Amino acid sequence: MLKKVVIFLSLITCITCSGHGPSVFLSNGYKAIYKSSTCDPDKPFPQMVLIPFFENASQIVPNCKTYPKHETALALFIFYHKWVEYFDDRNFAVRGMLEKVMIQWDTNKKISKSSYSLKGKPLENHNIIGRVESNSMTWVWQGYNHKISQSALFHELVHMAIRAKYGEHGDPDHEGTKYRGWTSAHSVMIVESKQMLQAFNL
Ligand SMILES: [Zn+2]
């Protein structure tokens, strides 16, 4: 009888922990090109470096410290982990976005003629720390204290994820009511993702 119970339990375990369930959200192998795509401090900047494990994702860096590719890759893993936890990604639209995203890091902020606050208030000639440039490209200032968790990377990725999910725009007015997509849950998800990144001292 005991033997039967053990077999039954191990079968259940096999089913629930198959290793190919929803928790395995990115299964790309480590491609040879990732090894050769590195930042070279002796070559002119900006430089483009591929982000390992994210297919064709890349970053344009102003120096080799902003940011090492393994740090950016970890940030993307954390972003996706949190996104799936909050909103799921059944058709892999967000995963597809992450697998072709190009992140342009900058050591300087920019001024935008028109933008929106998180609550949807229109702003003019405001200092900005990130901006989505296209379906697959975003510009991001390096962040306070030179930390990815204190940059706008996750904020911009939410814009791009919304764009990938719903087509059309990426909800430029955030929690405002002019465009749809961004909810308070998205803002909370960003905060939690940043905390997770901080746990890795990034
Ligand atoms: Zn925004």
Q: Which has the closest alpha carbon to 149: 157, 138, 161, 160?
A: 157
pTM: 0.87
Amino acid at 39: C
CA 149–ligand 1 middle distance (angstroms):
16
Predicted confidence at residue 4, as pLDDT, reads: 59
Distance between CA 133 and CA 80 in Å, rounded?
Answer: 20
Cα dist from 154 to 25, 70, 94, 157, 182, whole Å: 18, 16, 13, 5, 13
CA 159–ligand 1 middle distance (angstroms):
7
Distance between CA 124 and CA 159 in Å, rounded?
Answer: 20
CA 116–ligand 1 middle distance (angstroms):
7
SS3 104: strand
Predicted confidence at residue 29, as pLDDT, reads: 77
Strands 130-132 and 110-116: unpaired
CA 23–ligand 1 middle distance (angstroms):
28
CA 200–ligand 1 middle distance (angstroms):
25
CA 156–ligand 1 middle distance (angstroms):
6
Strand order in the sheet with 130-132: 47-50, 58-61, 102-106, 137-141, 130-132
Predicted confidence at residue 6, as pLDDT, reads: 52
CA 118–ligand 1 middle distance (angstroms):
7
User: What residues have CB less than 8 Å from 75, skipping those under 6 apart?
Assistant: 148, 153, 154, 197, 202
Low-confidence residues in the chain, pLDDT < 70: 1-28
CA 3–ligand 1 middle distance (angstroms):
58
CA 186–ligand 1 middle distance (angstroms):
11
CA 68–ligand 1 middle distance (angstroms):
24
Predicted confidence at residue 126, as pLDDT, reads: 92
Strands 47-50 and 58-61: antiparallel
User: What residues have CB less than 8 Å from 76, skipping those under 6 apart?
Assistant: 51, 54, 57, 98, 101, 157
Can you read off the two tokens belonging to residue 47? 């430089």
Distance between CA 198 and CA 202 in Å, rounded?
Answer: 5
H-assigned helices in 119-169: 153-166
Q: Which has the closest alpha carbon to 41: 60, 61, 63?
A: 63
